Amino acid sequence: MRSCLPLVFLCALTAGTASPQIARAQAAPVEATAITAFRPGSTETRFGALEFVGGLELSSSEPLFGAWSAIRFLSGGEHFLGVLDTGHWLSGRISRDAQGRLSGLSDVTIASMLDADGRGDQSKYSVDAESLAIRGDDVLVGYEQRHRISGYRPLSAIETARPFRMSFPLPFPVGELRNNGGLETLALSPEASPLQGALVAVAEKSVDGNGNLFAGILDGPLKGAFRVVAHDGFDVTDGDFLPDGDLLLLERRFTFASGVGLRIRRIDGASLKPGAVVDGEIILEAGMGEEIDNMEGLDVVSGADGSTRIILVSDDNHSILQRSLMLEFRLVD
């Protein structure tokens, strides 16, 4: 894999970038190169509690493509919606080969996120979209820098949707969120879980006095703040719930010595309640020896065979030194 420019430099390069206005959804042709081995040169497919299914390295002639922060698949598991941290919606659908592995993206479109006045030319500070959840016809987006969770509807016309709710109340102090370490995770719990379909938010690297990450259950019967234990310099970049109610957290770390690292942690769903400090087992860990990059998006989907699949996407920061990847794993319980 390509070496990665230090993330601190990438943040400095992109912090002031404005998002160009797009009057309507714009097509973005995407070329895909198959990734057949998670560890190059190896036939190994089992990594921790996950089995590697396949992946794609993605590129496009459309300059706006990239900077992918979050992804959610729609009913059926073929069409998806994502957000770019440049303040854009990204939608499309995946295709698969005869063996059921990811083979490409099609019908990909990009559109500017609109403000309440219908403007799509907002500054990077205002539209640094980092997390995404879909509840029925409502699309919920978590932003950092100007920290908030905004709601848009309808999902069917998201490219022209304006926020119907500018900010959802958070059960922890917004003033404690770091400019570049805010609401990286929005996850919708299963209706059958103790959280009863509540929305959960977790901060990337904003911590309390004990070094634990701010997190909260935003609605439902157990509404309130909790904390997530932070480990080994890893930052939380996304998350989603498994069908059994456990929460998966995608984590990333960068050091000059080891490069980029990835972890996925599984949090017991029964531990999620107001006042709790939660932790969980690491079910996947990878580094520069595997096909990863700046992994920022995670979604849990159901495979055609009924298995639980985990799909990850990376944020290339629009840098030639990084890649846009989509990786798929099967959960092995």
Dump pLDDT digits (tens) for 163-208.
998 778 899 989 999 888 899 999 999 999 999 999 999 999 999 9
Give strand pairing partners of 150.
141
Residue 304 lies in a domain: yes
Question: Which tokens go with 82?
Answer: 């994502």
Helix (H/G/I), strand (E/B), else coil: 3: coil
| pLDDT recorded at residue 168 | 84
For tokens 């849990």, name the residue: 300
Residue 24 lies in a domain: no
| pLDDT recorded at residue 124 | 86
Helix (H/G/I), strand (E/B), else coil: 204: strand
Residues of the chain with pLDDT under 50: 1-20, 23
| pLDDT recorded at residue 14 | 40
Q: Residue 190 sits in which domain range? A: 7-16+30-116+124-331
How many CA atoms, within 13 angstroms, populate the side-chain half-sphere of residue 327? 28
Residue 2 lies in a domain: no
Give yes or no for a contact between 203 and 236, defined as CB atoms under 8 angstroms apart: yes
CA angle 38, 230, 88 (to 5 degrees): 65
| pLDDT recorded at residue 269 | 97
Task: Find the CATH number of the domain harbouring 81.
Answer: 2.115.10
For tokens 């719990």, name the residue: 189
- Rounded-to-integer distance, Cα 177 and Cα 204, Å: 9
Looking at the 3D structure of the chain, how many domains does it have? 1
- Rounded-to-integer distance, Cα 2 and Cα 5, Å: 10
Whether pTM exceeds 0.95: no
Residue 89 lies in a domain: yes
Give the helix ranges, DSSP H, for the chain. Answer: 7-14
Residue 23 lies in a domain: no
How many CA atoms, within 13 angstroms, populate the side-chain half-sphere of residue 232? 13
Give yes or no for a contact between 69 and 297, defined as CB atoms under 8 angstroms apart: yes
- Rounded-to-integer distance, Cα 127 and Cα 108, Å: 21
- Rounded-to-integer distance, Cα 198 and Cα 202, Å: 13
Give strand pairing partners of 252.
235, 262
Residue 1 lies in a domain: no
Residue 300 lies in a domain: yes
Residue 229 lies in a domain: yes
